[in-house]
A and B are shown apart, each in its own frame.
Chain A
């Protein structure tokens, strides 16, 4: 098969672009988790923040991704480097699933468990760390899983603004009308997304409270 030989021949480049892709997805997901989980905790515990936080994340999600890349281009420092821009955009997109699932996960903890914990004299921080988060972790992880899968897809578009990654193969293949090049980008990207989905899904199930 042509495609197979092409992959074998160019495996180094494919691997390199795949690593670039992973870098973009990894950093942005990490940032989304570091920002999104605390925001989710805040909206779960202080309902007054619920609407603004979730609402903002929702609005960001509705902006078409390519448009968001375009909006951020003129921004100083961010727009100067495509990878910074891509990471910012990917992080923003990953926020909604992380925030929303953190919120749902924490609200979903059995209220009698929370009441018992509070009545026992656990501080809010202890309650959060020892009870709420461990019980919500499976749902939160499900949100992270969605964020990762979405990011893998979005990162392919990021190549349009020069951020590199597997999308570059796709765009170059389109310009050259070269199907093999397109597949060299599309297939690994799909594999990345599926692996992340599968791997994180497995972890999710393992961490589910009994």
Chain B
């Protein structure tokens, strides 16, 4: 009986010890890592989702790698954290955003310069690299009606500047507030509108433009409504707006482990123009089509998948 008691006390100690060991093992094994898969992330808006889906399908079609999708992550910071921690391997980003939001530097310079700067900083600081640009620049776009563009033979913002005293402008709140928004633009091009610009909800800008309530608005270059509403984007010939070239951010370790990815990324490089991205965005937002279908269709049309 004395043995029983001792045994019981010893037994409990073993239970506790074993639990602790098991728990520690579990903890150690939890440290995130994965080997035969590629995880693709995206932010939580249509365009980012589309790019992520394109990457995913291309990799699935052309390699033996399993692809996991971790879409709708809430922004650049979240995506950056995820890729640093190895929870995702690739995600679509914009060079201008990477420069300002992640690298916390002032944006300036031309597209190629910004791309180079971001790429080299990412490689030295984060062990990340950039794939070649997808081919479009989702920067601010000064839009006018297609009619006006054709009638007045306007192509660039410099040309349009002369007509601004006869025009009314509409902008979103953020564009008005940002130092690199309206204020800088007006200075760079010498814009003098008939009246102070109207501040409107972003979603109301396009209809207001169409209905002649305003004559120009600041939107996104790849906005899906641009082709459908017959809007024209004036060229930023003085390069006022910072470049926001869409690129893929990739973990260097993932590239080393799966060299075939490099080919995939370069295959997608330069394949999507501003107009093409507009159409893709419209397919999702305007026509409410399924992202997977739209992506597959696009890849086929480019001859990237059979």
A83 to B68: give the CA distance in the assembly, Å.
21
Kindly provide the distance from the CB of B69 to the nearest chain A CB, expressed in whole angstroms.
9
Kindly provide the distance from the CB of B277 to the nearest chain A CB, expressed in whole angstroms.
21
Closest 4 CB pairs of A and B: A162-B81, A23-B30, A82-B81, A162-B78
Interface residues of A in 147-191 (CB under 8 A from B): 160-164, 168, 171-172, 175-176
Residues A163 and B23 in contact in the complex (CB < 8 Å), given A172-B72, A206-B12: no
Digit string of B45-78 for contact with A (CB within 8 Å is 1, else 0)? 0000000000000000000000010111110011
Residues A16 and B34 in contact in the complex (CB < 8 Å), given A22-B26, A26-B26, A203-B19: yes
User: Which residues from chain B contact A161 at a C-beta distance below 8 Å?
Assistant: 77-78, 81
* B103, CB-defined interface residue at 8 Å: no
B23 adjacent to A26 (CB under 8 Å): yes
A175 adjacent to B80 (CB under 8 Å): no
Q: How large is the interface on A (under 10, 10 to 19, 20 to 34, 35 or more residues)?
A: 20 to 34
A172 adjacent to B71 (CB under 8 Å): yes
User: Which residues from chain B contact A206 at a C-beta distance below 8 Å?
Assistant: 12, 15
Q: Which residue of B lies closest to A12 (CB)?
A: B68
Mostly, the B contact residues are helix
User: Which residues from chain B contact A23 at a C-beta distance below 8 Å?
Assistant: 27, 30-32
User: Which residues from chain A contact B73 at a C-beta distance below 8 Å?
Assistant: 162, 168, 172
User: Which residues from chain A contact B30 at a C-beta distance below 8 Å?
Assistant: 19-20, 22-23, 26
Residues A26 and B27 in contact in the complex (CB < 8 Å), given A175-B74, A203-B16: yes
Digit string of B9-53 for contact with A (CB within 8 Å is 1, else 0)? 000100110010001001101111010000000001000000000
B87 adjacent to A171 (CB under 8 Å): no
Q: Which residue of B lies closest to A82 (CB)?
A: B81
Kindly provide the distance from the CB of B26 to the nearest chain A CB, expressed in whole angstroms.
7
A176 to B48: give the CA distance in the assembly, Å.
13
B16 adjacent to A162 (CB under 8 Å): no
Kindly provide the distance from the CB of A139 to the nearest chain B CB, expressed in whole angstroms.
16
User: Which residues from chain A contact B31 at a C-beta distance below 8 Å?
Assistant: 23
Interface residues of A in 30-45 (CB under 8 A from B): 30
User: Which residues from chain B contact A171 at a C-beta distance below 8 Å?
Assistant: 72, 74
A81 adjacent to B81 (CB under 8 Å): yes
* B84, CB-defined interface residue at 8 Å: yes
A175 adjacent to B44 (CB under 8 Å): yes
A16 to B31: give the CA distance in the assembly, Å.
10
> Which residues of A does B touch, CB under 8 Å?
12-13, 16, 19-20, 22-23, 26-27, 30, 81-83, 160-164, 168, 171-172, 175-176, 203, 206-207
Q: Which residue of A lies closest to B76 (CB)?
A: A162
Mostly, the A contact residues are helix
Kindly provide the distance from the CB of B56 to the nearest chain A CB, expressed in whole angstroms.
14
Kindly provide the distance from the CB of A192 to the nearest chain B CB, expressed in whole angstroms.
12
A83 to B12: give the CA distance in the assembly, Å.
35
For B19, B31, B81, the residue with the greatest tally of chain A CB atoms inside 10 Å of its CB is: B81
* B85, CB-defined interface residue at 8 Å: yes
Kindly provide the distance from the CB of A55 to the nearest chain B CB, expressed in whole angstroms.
31
A19 adjacent to B81 (CB under 8 Å): no
A179 to B78: give the CA distance in the assembly, Å.
21
Kindly provide the distance from the CB of B10 to the nearest chain A CB, expressed in whole angstroms.
14
12 more contacts with CB within 8 A, not counting A30-B27, A162-B78, A172-B73, are A22-B30, A23-B31, A23-B32, A81-B81, A83-B81, A162-B80, A162-B81, A163-B81, A164-B87, A172-B70, A203-B19, A207-B16
Question: Which of A12, A16, A27, A162 contacts B82 (CB under 8 A)?
Answer: A162
For A12, A23, A160, A203, the residue with the greatest tally of chain B CB atoms inside 10 Å of its CB is: A23
A20 adjacent to B71 (CB under 8 Å): no
User: Which residues from chain A contact B68 at a C-beta distance below 8 Å?
Assistant: 12-13
A53 to B29: give the CA distance in the assembly, Å.
34
Q: Which residue of B lies closest to A24 (CB)?
A: B30
Q: Which residue of B lies closest to A162 (CB)?
A: B81
Kindly provide the distance from the CB of B70 to the nearest chain A CB, expressed in whole angstroms.
7
Residues A81 and B85 in contact in the complex (CB < 8 Å), given A26-B27, A161-B78, A203-B19: yes
B27 adjacent to A27 (CB under 8 Å): yes
Q: Which residue of B lies closest to A23 (CB)?
A: B30
A164 adjacent to B34 (CB under 8 Å): no
User: Which residues from chain B contact A203 at a C-beta distance below 8 Å?
Assistant: 16, 19
For B34, B78, B80, the residue with the greatest tally of chain A CB atoms inside 10 Å of its CB is: B78
